[in-house]
C-alpha cells in the first residue's frame, strides 16, 4: 500500500530522524500507525530489559503476548487468519524490531517468516487452515529446521536427514543445528530427504513428538536472546497429513527462503540503523576537548557514512519489497539486498562502536550488542558468499557454485 497524498516538507521533517529520505511516508496511514505501535512497544517494553536477557542468554517469554497483540506475525501473508498487509510494511516492521533488538527481530523472522512461510507457501489449504490462524495470533510458535551440523551452505545438495514412508505416515531420522525457537516451539518444520525419490520434503513435527529431542546451543557471542538448538530426530513418526503437500523438492524450500531472505535484509538495515541512532545520540552528549564530540569533523564523517549506509540499504530493500508485492521478486533480487544490507550493517555497527570509544564495548550503551548480533545476521539465511554466487549466476549466466 503506498501513501497517495502529496508529500509535504512537514511530513518529511516529522518522519523519524534516521529515516532521512522519508521511506516510511511510502506507507499508507494504517501501515504507518502499525509501525509506530511496533516502535512504541519495542522502545517501552523491550529496550529497557533486553540487555539483561542478552547477558543471561535467556529468551523473554513474557514479551510474547505483547508482540502477539501487535498483529505482525506473518504480516505479508494472505493465508487464513493472516494480516495480508503486504511485503513493504512487513519489511519495515522487521527493520523496526531489529532497530531496537535484533534477537527479537530474529525470533519474529523465524516464527512469522520462515515457519509460517513454509506453511503458507508449501502447505495445502487444509494445512493452512489448521495452523496459520493460531500462528498469526502467536498462540502456536513455529521453528524452521533446515541446517544440519555437517551441512549449511551446501544444504540443497547435502541435506542428510531422511524421511522414509511408513504406512500412512513417515519416519524421520537425522540431526539439525542452529534451529531458532525449536526448544520451545509448538511446531518445527523439518526438511528431510525422501529415501524413495531423493527429493527434499517438508514435515510439520509437533511439540513432544516422540523421538525429537533438543540441545539448546550455549555460549553464543551473537543473538544471545535467541534460543538456537540442535535437534536430534530418532525414528520420529509423522503422519502424512503433516507433510507439507506442496513441498516436492528443494525448489519449494527455496521459494520460502526467497521471501524470508528479504526479511533478513531488512533486519540488517534495522540493526545498522539502531547502532547509528545510539551513536548519534552519544556524540551529542559526550564532550571532549570542551566540546561535544559531534562537533568534530572526523566524527561527523563517520556519522554521515553510517547514515548513508542505512539509507542506501533501506532504499534497495524498499524497491525489492515493492517488487515482491507485485509478484516480481526473484532470488537474485533478495540475495543482492541481503548481501548489500549485511555488508553495510557490519561496517556501520563497527563505526558506531568506534564513536563511542571505550563505552562502545559496554552493554549498557547498546551498541556493543548490535556489533555482536550483526555477526549472526551476516551469516544466516545464506552467507555473503552464497548470496553473491546467486547474483553472479543471474548476471553472467554462469554458475560458479562448486
Out of 152, 169, 211, 292, name the contact with ligand FAD by CB under 6 A: 152
If one asks whether residue 133 binds ligand FAD (CB under 6 A), the answer comes out as: no
Smallest distance, ligand FAD to C-beta of residue 178, A: 3
**Angle, CA of 144, 148 and 150, to the nearest 5°:** 165
The one segment of 140-148, 201-209, 327-335, 362-370 that binds ligand FAD by CB under 6 A: 140-148
- Span from 117-125, 146-154, 276-284, 313-321 in contact with ligand FAD (CB under 6 A): 146-154
Q: Of 266, 267, 260, nearest to 381 (Cα)?
A: 260
Q: At 142, is the secondary structure helix, strand, or coil?
A: strand
Strand, coil or helix: what is 180? strand
Query: What is the C-alpha to C-alpha distance for residues 43 and 236, in angstroms, rounded to an integer?
Result: 42
Residue 102 sits in the site that holds ligand FAD (CB under 6 A):
no
Q: Which is nearer to ligand FAD, 86 or 180 (CB)?
A: 180
**C-alpha–C-alpha distance, residues 393 and 336, integer Å:** 12
Q: Which of 183, 228, 335, 341 binds ligand FAD (CB under 6 A)?
A: 228
Q: Footprint of ligand FAD on residues 180-209 (CB under 6 A)? A: 180
Identify which of 108, 127, 105, 126 has the alpha carbon closest to the alpha carbon of residue 118. Answer: 127
Which window, 24-32, 147-155, 202-210, 330-338, contacts ligand FAD (CB under 6 A)? 147-155
What's the chain's length in residues?
A: 402
Q: How far is the CB of 378 from ligand FAD (least distance, A)?
A: 9
Q: Could you say which of 178, 250, 282, 370 contacts ligand FAD (CB under 6 A)?
A: 178
Among 67, 223, 271, 294, interactor with ligand FAD by CB under 6 A: 223
Size of the site for ligand FAD (CB under 6 A): 22
Range 317-376, binding ligand FAD (CB under 6 A): 376
- Minimal distance in Å, beta carbon 261 to ligand FAD? 10
* 220: alpha, beta or left? (left if phi > 0; alpha if psi -120 to 50): beta
Q: Closest Cα partner for 17 from 321, 277, 253?
A: 277
* Shortest spacing between CB 153 and ligand FAD, in angstroms: 3
Smallest Cα–Cα separation from 247: which of 238, 256, 239, 258?
A: 256
Helix segments in 113-228, DSSP class H: 116-122, 125-136, 155-158
Q: Site map for ligand FAD, 372-391, x if CB under 6 A? A: ----x--xxxxx-xx-----
Is the Cβ–Cβ distance between 241 and 58 less than 8 Å? no
Work out which of 108, 179, 262, 391 binds ligand FAD, going by CB under 6 A. 179
Q: Please give the residue whose beta carbon sits closest to ligand FAD in the complex.
A: 152
**SS3 call for 239:** strand
Positive or negative: CA dihedral 94, 95, 100, 101: positive
Q: Which residues bind ligand FAD (CB under 6 A)?
A: 110, 144-147, 152-153, 178-180, 223, 228, 376, 379-383, 385-386, 401-402
Amino acid at each position: 500500500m503506498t501513501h497517495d497524498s502529496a508529500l509535504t516538507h512537514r511530513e518529511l521533517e516529522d518522519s523519524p530522524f534516521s529515516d532521512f529520505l522519508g521511506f516510511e511516508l511510502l506507507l499508507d496511514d494504517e501501515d504507518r500507525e502499525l509501525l509506530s505501535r511496533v516502535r512504541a512497544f519495542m522502545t517501552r517494553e523491550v529496550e529497557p530489559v533486553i540487555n539483561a536477557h542478552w547477558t543471561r542468554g535467556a529468551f523473554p517469554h513474557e514479551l510474547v503476548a505483547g508482540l502477539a497483540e501487535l498483529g505482525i506475525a506473518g504480516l505479508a501473508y494472505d493465508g487464513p487468519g493472516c494480516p495480508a498487509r503486504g511485503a513493504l510494511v512487513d519489511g519495515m516492521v522487521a527493520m523496526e524490531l531489529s532497530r531496537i533488538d535484533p534477537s527479537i527481530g530474529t525470533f519474529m523472522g523465524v516464527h512469522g517468516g520462515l515457519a509460517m512461510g513454509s506453511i503458507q507457501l508449501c502447505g495445502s489449504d487444509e494445512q493452512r487452515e489448521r495452523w496459520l490462524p493460531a500462528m498469526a495470533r502467536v498462540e502456536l510458535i513455529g521453528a524452521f529446521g533446515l541446517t544440519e551440523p555437517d551441512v549449511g551452505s551446501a544444504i540443497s545438495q547435502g541435506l542428510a536427514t531422511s524421511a522414509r514412508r511408513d504406512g500412512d505416515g513417515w519416519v524421520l531420522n537425522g540431526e539439525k543445528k542452529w534451529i531458532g525457537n525449536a526448544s520451545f516451539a509448538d511446531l518445527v518444520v523439518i526438511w528431510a530427504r525422501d529415501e524413495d525419490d531423493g527429493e527434499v520434503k517438508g514435515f510439520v513435527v509437533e511439540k513432544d513428538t516422540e523421538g525429537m529431542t533438543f540441545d539448546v546451543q550455549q555460549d553464543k557471542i551473537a543473538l544471545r536472546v535467541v534460543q538456537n538448538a540442535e535437534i536430534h530426530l530418532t525414528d520420529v513418526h509423522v503422519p502424512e497429513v503433516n507433510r507439507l503437500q506442496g513441498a516436492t523438492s528443494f525448489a519449494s524450500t527455496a521459494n520460502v527462503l526467497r521471501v524470508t531472505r528479504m526479511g533478513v535484509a531488512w533486519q540488517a538495515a534495522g540493526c545498522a540503523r539502531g547502532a547509528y541512532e545510539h551513536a548519534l545520540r552519544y556524540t551529542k552528549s559526550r564532550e571532549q576537548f570542551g566540546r561535544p564530540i559531534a562537533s568534530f569533523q572526523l566524527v561527523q564523517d563517520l556519522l554521515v557514512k553510517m547514515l548513508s549506509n542505512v539509507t542506501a540499504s533501506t532504499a534497495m530493500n524498499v524497491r525489492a519489497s515493492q517488487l515482491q508485492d507485485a509478484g516480481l521478486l526473484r532470488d537474485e533480487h533478495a540475495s543482492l539486498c541481503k548481501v548489500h544490507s549485511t555488508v553495510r550493517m557490519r561496517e556501520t555497527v563497527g563505526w558506531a562502536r568506534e564513536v563511542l570509544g571505550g563505552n562502545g564495548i559496554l552493554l549498557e550503551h547498546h551498541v556493543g550488542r548490535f556489533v555482536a548480533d550483526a555477526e549472526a545476521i551476516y551469516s544466516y539465511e545464506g552467507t555473503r558468499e552464497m548470496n553473491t554466487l546467486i547474483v553472479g549466476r543471474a548476471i553472467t549466466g554462469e554458475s560458479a557454485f562448486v
